[in-house]
Amino acid sequence: MQFLRKAVFYIFLIIYLIACPLILLYAVGYIYKPGTKEGFVKTGLISVATVPSGAKIYLNKSRYTQKSPAVIPELIPGSYSLKIFLKGHKEWIRTVRVEPEKATVFDKVILLPDRLRSKEVLHGKFRDIISVPGTDFLVLARSEKIDDILAYNIKSNKAWPLLKSGMLFGGGEALSYFTEKESPYIIFCVKSPAGNKFLRVELAENKEAPAEDITKFFPTEPSRVFWHASSPKDIFSYQKGSLNRIDLDSGQVYKKYIKNVKGFGLSENALYVLANDNKLVKMDYDKKDRKILIDETTMNTFLFRGNDFYKIYPLGQEIFLFWGERGGLLTNNAPYNLEGEGIKGVSVNLQFDRAVLFKNDRVGVLDLSAEEISGEAIKPVKIKWIYKNAKNIEQVFWAHEASHVLFRDGNKVFLAGAFEDSGFSLNSIFDVADGSSIVYSDKTGEAYCLFQSPGSLFASGIVPKKDIIEMPSVDTGQDKGKKYNGV
Amino acid sequence: MEFDFSGSNIQGRERGLQRFFEIVPGATSWMILVGMTILAFCEPLVAAVIIIAFDLYWLLRLLYMTLFLILSYFRLSMEKGTDWMKKAKELDQPGELCLKDIVHLVIIPVSKETQEVIAPGIKSFIQGAFPSKQVLVVIALEERAGQEVKEGVKKTQEVYRRDFLDLLVAIHPDGIQGEAKVKGANTTFAAKRAAEYFLEKDIPFEKVVASCFDADTVIDSDYFAALTYYYMASPERERASFQPVPVYNNNIWEAPGITRVLETGSSFFQLIEATNPEKLVTFSSHSMSFKALVDIGYWPVDMISDDSAIFWKAFIHYDGKYRVVPMYTTLSMDAVVAENWWKTVVNVYKQKRRWAWGVENFPIIMRAFLKNKKISFFNKMRYLFKLFEGHIAWATWAFLLTFIGWLPAIFAGREFTHTVFYYSAPRIAGTIFHLASFSLITSIILSICLLPKSREKHPVLMRIGYAFQWLLVPFTVIFLSALPALDAQTRLMLGKYMTFWVTDKKRK
């Protein structure tokens, strides 16, 4: 037995010494190809994942045995024609370049149905929809009057009047609104005989007093209002170069809480303040733990335009975006000036370190995750325009784990694969009523719209519900305090 | 070499060395686990390469062990029907060593075991082929044991004394200087009492084979006969321990699934080890020459892992000229069973931690090996590597295979996720795990073969249920094997020394 044990040990040792390097070589992409000069050749692979799954995969007209999701390994480097086909859905065809040792990944492919089906989810005569990003709610307006507005829960499919009858400012005209990502609160600016009033409404069913007049907390009418979903009773308002802080719990207003403010952003625990001297300072809500993140020498002071206010988006590895009032977009890394003017909206997804932005005629994306290559210098940040020559882009939404962008150009709605993993596709999905907004919810994978104005609320499934993985949303939402369009 | 095989009561440089070598195993295990986690985070590609190389090594090691498990099991089965008495008689050497001269000394340490636990074992000594009148049983009773235990021992002595050469009860007093509250102190005290007995009766120590059995040990009917044969047949028999295969069948049908799987795993490990006598170390109940026991100064009186420590003590005392002879016969003990499932799990954890505390031998052996110039360097390295690697593998492998192995994929940055390696690594790991299931299936089949007959109404269903309990392996190896081992090494590393804890064992 002793001899046998030793003999087997040495056999196993030899097996290991031979097999281990071979397996590791195979793991990095080497395969043995008889007939080639070297014998061993480097290969690449293609990874495909679709929603819905179960699609047939064709590579250079040969059908691959597996259905999506699938990994096609051992591919000799070169160009391949990749076709993904699922019955009842639009074909997805790309010419794919396979590189040695690399994986060409299409793991966020959305296969749209041949005919996108829409269902009426709420009957009524609605004129517009307001998105409350990252929540289960949207808001529907029948007219410009505040008491003609409904809240709608997309999960329970229930709607209720935003204000109870006879409540504050009945009959007043809703002029504008403010929302924050993942916060079920909405602040309306309402025109009343006594002047403009601010109404804070909680989107919750069966709430006794969902609305609250918070006008008294604003010394003068604010141009911008900020809060974070985690502390909705801590509100910051921007007025003429200063930030006021409102503590709704105690009813305290801290006027000019921070002075000489040129830009502002906030996260769960921190405030980001761009001062007039172009220093970016991070501090906690009580102005403690101050840390200068960017001093005036880091960024050319001429980049920040005169008296423009900049909304600050913290993302990636200490990367910030500064979106100015006149549509300029700056960042603290080269090339600093991303776009001189005209950016109408910015939405950031912190989970994937991606940002989507739009101008009147184009939609672009920034992928900051691609910059995080350890040990290498950070590559210059660059906007990738995924759609140009539009008429008038007004709304943009992230879809399917920030891989796609759903946007509205006038009354036309498009779905675009924004990155390599989605295959840079572009599909026109449907047309909506002139002047009406749309809402896309990553929680249901559905786009909500009005096909007629006034008309009922319809939902169109973009991503099948079974393929939706609910993740904590970190999208920072879009422009706050914008004009209440269409109401 | 004269060496005080103890980690306590040492001073100066020896104390410093002892402390250093106490830290080494725990620090190594933690370095592997934390280091691989950090590497998976910082350099996922490098970590993934190491993990694949490790997975392959683990697979081959597993298949290697499975092969020898099968061979060992077949040998155990083949030797089942052997007439050991006949074979022993053939070895009679008149004037030197005859079968009729051999005396077996059995020491049974008792601390809180009741008569119900002790009696079946003692009864099994009588029922064997070897004449029980050549067996001296010494019950090593702790003075601090409860009244019920003491009465049980007394009754046992009254009932069975006449069946043996004698049945003595040695009451071990508490608080003897230099002793810790450990089993070794109790058995040593009993062995000294037995030595006095043999001197009184003029029985030469060379002809006495000492066995130290746990109180719940029930032996095979051919155990003493087989032991006698192995003892007589072994050259330099006084420089050897004799290791049977422990099985935990006494109450296996009453034990919960996790206990069964773990205890069967221990039996398998011993079966595999039996095929490698060159590196075999004593474990649990075993036997040895009484002369050697006396020569080396009995069991360590301040160590928990007395079963393995006795081998190392003898190995160092005889300058490496000491070995363990595997015996292809079984003795059965109780699987851990407590009042309820949770308590059983806690008890199993504590028992495995106590077993893993065998790592306490490492610093002492290191000190001894540094001093001993007569044991060859190769021999030292061979034993040390096995001991060290065994403990490190025990504490780390399960974590590497189940948790840390997947971290590179979780921590992978964009650069890594777009490589062929990122996609091929999980497939290779999956294939390795699939191949490893061969070992699992073999284990299931062999474990069923090792099971005793069930007293239940539906034995076939019981066995099928038992097979499915092997699906608990991932849980048991992590939480009831690797974790207690890491716990034991960490305690030793931090100098938080363990005290002996008697496992709860109950029978219906």
Name which of B508, B418, B503, B500 is nearest B183 in CA terms: B500
Tell me whether A403 touches chain B (CB under 8 Å): no
Closest partner residue to B422 among A16, A103, A372, by Cβ?
A103
State residue A472's pLDDT score. Answer: 43
Residues of A in contact with B423 (CB under 8 A): 45, 47, 71, 73, 103
Number of CB pairs < 8 Å for A and B? 88
Does residue A77 carry a pLDDT above 50?
Answer: yes
- Identify the closest residue of chain A to B415 by CA–CA distance: A373
In whole numbers, what is the pLDDT of chain A averaged over residues?
86
Q: What is the pLDDT of residue A317?
A: 62
Q: How far is B46 from chain A (nearest CA, A)?
A: 11
| Digit-coded pLDDT (tens) for B356-395 | 999 999 999 999 999 999 999 999 999 999 999 999 999 9
Do residue A24 and residue B423 have CB atoms under 8 angstroms apart?
Answer: no
Around B227, how many Cα atoms within 13 Å sit in the side-chain half-sphere? Answer: 35
Query: So what's the pLDDT on residue A206?
Result: 75
For residue A477, what pLDDT band results from cuts at 50, 70 and 90? very low
Q: Tell whether A248 is within 8 A of chain B (Cβ).
A: no
What confidence score (pLDDT) does residue A332 get? 85
- Mean pLDDT, to the nearest integer, of B281-308? 93
What's the pLDDT at A480? Answer: 41
Q: A21: nearest CA in chain B?
A: B53
Between A420 and B328, the more confident residue is B328
- The lowest-confidence range among A21-35, A62-76, B154-168, B441-455 is B441-455
Least confident of A371-385, B18-32, B263-277: A371-385
Interchain contact, A8 vs B64, CB within 8 Å: yes
Does position A9 have pLDDT exceeding 90, yes or no?
A: yes
Q: Which chain A residue is nearest to residue B61, measuring alpha carbons?
A: A12
pLDDT of residue B434: 94
* pLDDT at residue B50 is higher than 50: yes
- Contacts A1 to B, Cβ<8 Å: 71, 75, 275
Q: Percent of chain B scored above 90 by pLDDT?
A: 64
The answer on pLDDT for A82 being more than 50 is yes
List the single range of A42-56, A212-226, B225-239 with lowest mean pLDDT: A212-226
> What digits encode the pLDDT tens for the residues A242-256?
999 999 999 999 999
| Of B405 and A419, the one with more pLDDT | B405
pLDDT at A307: 79
Which pLDDT does position A375 carry in this prediction? Answer: 47
A44 has pLDDT over 80: yes
**Would the pLDDT of A262 be above 80?**
yes
> Does B420 contact A43 at a Cβ distance shorter than 8 Å?
yes
DSSP string, B130-177: S-GGGEEEEEEEETTS-HHHHHHHHHHHHHHGGGSSEEEEEEE-TT-T
Contacts of A12 in chain B (CB under 8 A): 60-61, 63-64
Q: Do A16 and B418 touch (CB under 8 A)?
A: no
Mean pLDDT of chain B: 90
Indicate if the pLDDT at residue A297 is higher than 90.
Answer: no
Taking an 8 Å cut-off on Cβ atoms, the answer to whether B418 and A71 are in contact is: no
What chain B residue is nearest to A373 in terms of C-alpha separation?
A: B415
pLDDT attached to residue A482: 42
Of B113-127, B406-420, B430-444, which range is least confident? B406-420
Q: Kindly report the nearest CA distance between residue B66 and chain A, in angstroms.
A: 12
Query: Which of B276, B279, B420 is the best mutation test for A, with the most CBs of A within 10 A?
Result: B420
The reply to whether A102 touches chain B by the CB within 8 Å rule is yes
Mean pLDDT of A97-103: 93
Q: How far is CA B208 from CA B105, B289, B311, in A?
A: 7, 6, 18
pLDDT on residue A34: 79
Between residues A297 and A412, the one the model is more confident about: A412
Q: Which residues of B touch A47 (CB under 8 A)?
A: 423
> Scanning every residue of chain A, which has its alpha carbon at the shortest distance from the alpha carbon of B431?
A23
CA distance to partner chain B, nearest, from residue A135 (Å) = 28
Band of the pLDDT at B7, cuts 50, 70, 90?
confident
User: Of A12, A25, A371, which to mutate for an interface test with B (greatest number of B Cβ within 10 Å)?
Assistant: A12
Average confidence (pLDDT) over B296-303: 93
Interface of A with B in 195-224 (CB under 8 A): none
pLDDT of residue A271: 94
Give the number of other CB atoms < 10 A from CB of residue A230: 11
Contacts B64 to A, Cβ<8 Å: 8-9, 12
For residue B456, pLDDT over 70 is answered with no
Chain centroid to Cα A463, Å, comes to 15
Q: What is the per-residue pLDDT for A166?
A: 61
Cis peptide bond upstream of A219, omega within 30: no
Kindly list the residues from chain A whose CB atom is less than 8 angstroms away from the CB atom of residue B71. Answer: 1, 4
Taking the Cβ of residue A17 and every Cβ of chain B, the question of whether any pair is shorter than 8 Å is answered with no
Q: Which chain B residues touch A103 with a CB distance below 8 Å? A: 417-420, 422-423
Minimal CA separation from B452 to chain A, in Å? 27
Name every chain B residue with its beta carbon within 8 A of the beta carbon of A101.
419-421
Query: Taking 50 as the threshold, does the pLDDT of residue A97 lie above it?
Result: yes
Q: Which residues of B touch A41 (CB under 8 A)?
A: none
Min Cα–Cα distance to chain B from A9, Å: 8
- Residue A478's pLDDT band, with cuts at 50, 70 and 90, is very low
Using DSSP, state whether B326 is helix, strand or coil: strand
Mean pLDDT for the stretch of residues B321-327? 94
Average confidence (pLDDT) over B447-462: 72
Q: What residue of A is the nearest CA neighbor of B418? A: A103
Contact B415 A373 (CB under 8 A): yes
Higher per-residue pLDDT: A164 or B202: B202
Query: Could you tell me which residues of chain B have a Cβ less than 8 Å from any Cβ in chain A?
Result: 42, 48-49, 52-53, 56-57, 60-61, 63-64, 67-68, 71, 75, 275-278, 413-415, 417-425, 427-428
Q: Does residue A474 carry a pLDDT above 50?
A: no
Say how many residues make up chain B: 508
- B118's enclosing H/E stretch is helix B115-126
In 3-state terms, what secondary structure has residue B309? helix
Rounded to whole angstroms, what are the CA distances from B330 to A12, B138, B220, B268, B270? 30, 21, 6, 12, 10
3-state secondary structure chain A: CHHHHHHHHHHHHHHHHHHHHHHHHHHHCEEECCCCCCCEEECEEEEEEEECCCCEEEECCEEECCCCCEEEEEECCEEEEEEEECCCECCEEEEEEECCCEEEEEEEEECCECCCCEEEEEEEEECEEEECCCCCEEEEECCCEHHHEEEEECCCCEEEECCCCCCCCCCCEEEEEEECCCCCEEEEEEEECCEEEEEEEECCCCCCCCEEECHHHCCCCCCEEEEECCEEEEEEEEECCEEEEEECCCCEEEEEEECCEEEEEECCCCEEEEECCCCEEEECCCCCCCEEEECCCCCCHHHCCCCCCEEEEEECCCEEEEEECCCCEEECCCCCEEECCCCCEEEEECCCCEEEEECCCCEEEEECHHHCCCCCCCCCCCCEEEECCCCCEEEEEEECCCCEEEEEECCEEEEEECCHHHCCCEEEEEECCCCCCCEEECCCCEEEEECCCCEEEEEEECCCHHHCCCCCCCECCCCCCCECCCC
- Judge whether residue B505 has pLDDT over 70: no
* β-pair partners for A18: none
Whether A373 has a pLDDT exceeding 50, the answer reads no
| A positions 20-49 inside 8 Å of B (CB) | 20, 23-24, 26-29, 43-45, 47
Helix or strand or coil: residue B200? helix
Contact A1 B424 (CB under 8 A): no
Query: pLDDT class for A24, splitting at 50, 70, 90?
Result: very high
Question: Per residue in B54-84, pLDDT tens?
Answer: 999 999 999 999 999 999 999 999 998 899 9
**Residue B145 to chain A, least CA–CA distance (Å):** 45
Q: Using a CB-CB distance cutoff of 8 angstroms, which residues of chain A are in contact with residue B276?
A: 2, 5
Nearest to A23 among B56, B75, B422 (CB): B56
